[in-house]
Amino acid sequence: MLKLGVLVSGGGTNLQAILDAVESGRITNAEVSLVISNNAGAYALERAHMHEIPAVCISPKSYESRDEFHKALLSELQNHQIDLVVLAGFLVAVPPMIVGAYPNRIINIHPSLIPSFCGTGFYGLRVHEGVLDRGVKVTGATVHFVDAGTDTGPIILQKAVEVQEGDTPEILQRRVMEQAEWKILPEAIDLIANGKVMVENGKVRISR
Ligand code: GRF
């Protein structure tokens, strides 16, 4: 049984998609063992409480330095013997110290088709604003392993979503979540939990 540690900052709809998929059996061989938020007010913490999952806030504000904050995050993950770290709308950059402790064991959901509209500065609504400003007709979401860069790790799954006439960033964000994020994040976790994801030469190979 793969022990998942889900890191969140906000509403936690991606966390909810994972919890629903575990309950319905779309994710097998994995359980959500820990939820960590950097933000005490995150509704994602409530969602974890409702499922009786250990949930903690680890905020950078509670530590004297960034380094102390990072050490606290890492030791919480290690204390719960987490096997796979899932960044589900976690708005904090994961430092090399944690990436190094979990090589190809941290995944992130990004709300665009990487390598478009990703990297530093592209988070939250800014991603969808970028998509609408450029006028692309197709966007989507990507699940990837986390490496030392920003949104640069091996890509596990992607799903395309149409941009429609009259979209606002908020409307597009919702469509990308409903049609892509909430599907491919649980699917990627299920594939990893069942040993179907291999990384070779920086690229993911999936055996189905
Ligand atoms: C999602 O769009 C995710 O892709 C992005 O942040 C948002 C998180 O939403 N990184 P939620 O907290 O899962 O509802």
Q: Is residue 110 among the annotated active site residues?
A: yes
What pLDDT is attached to residue 208? 81
Ligand 1 site residues (CB inside 6 A) read 8, 10-14, 44, 88-89, 109-111, 124, 177, 181
Nearest CA to ligand 1 atom 1: 89
What pLDDT is attached to residue 178? 98
pTM (predicted TM-score): 0.96
pLDDT tens for each residue of 127-172: 999 999 999 999 999 999 999 999 999 999 999 999 999 999 999 9
pLDDT tens for each residue of 47-103: 999 999 999 999 999 999 999 999 999 999 999 999 999 999 999 999 999 999 999
Rounded distance, CA 174 to CA 141, Å?
Answer: 12
Rounded distance, CA 75 to CA 129, Å?
Answer: 36
What pLDDT is attached to residue 82? 98
Catalytic residue among 70, 110, 128, 144: 110
Nearest CA to ligand 1 atom 3: 89
pLDDT band at 185; cut points 50, 70, 90: very high
pLDDT tens for each residue of 26-39: 999 999 999 999 99
* Ligand 1 probe mutation, 8, 13, 127, most atoms within 8 A of CB: 13
Interval 6-25 mean pLDDT = 97
End-to-end CA distance of the chain: 19
Count of all residues that appear for the chain in the document: 208
What pLDDT is attached to residue 53? 97
**pLDDT cut 90: percent of the chain above it:** 100
Atom of ligand 1 nearest to the CA of 181: 4
Nearest CA to ligand 1 atom 6: 89
> Check: CATH 4.10.490.10 for 2-206?
no
On whether the CB atoms of residues 109 and 14 are closer than 8 A, the answer is yes
Whether the per-residue pLDDT at 199 is higher than 90: the answer is yes
Q: What is the mean pLDDT of the chain?
A: 97
Distance 136 CA to ligand 1 centre (A): 21
* Ligand 1 probe mutation, 8, 45, 106, 109, most atoms within 8 A of CB: 109
On whether the CB atoms of residues 113 and 147 are closer than 8 A, the answer is no
Interval 94-113 mean pLDDT = 97
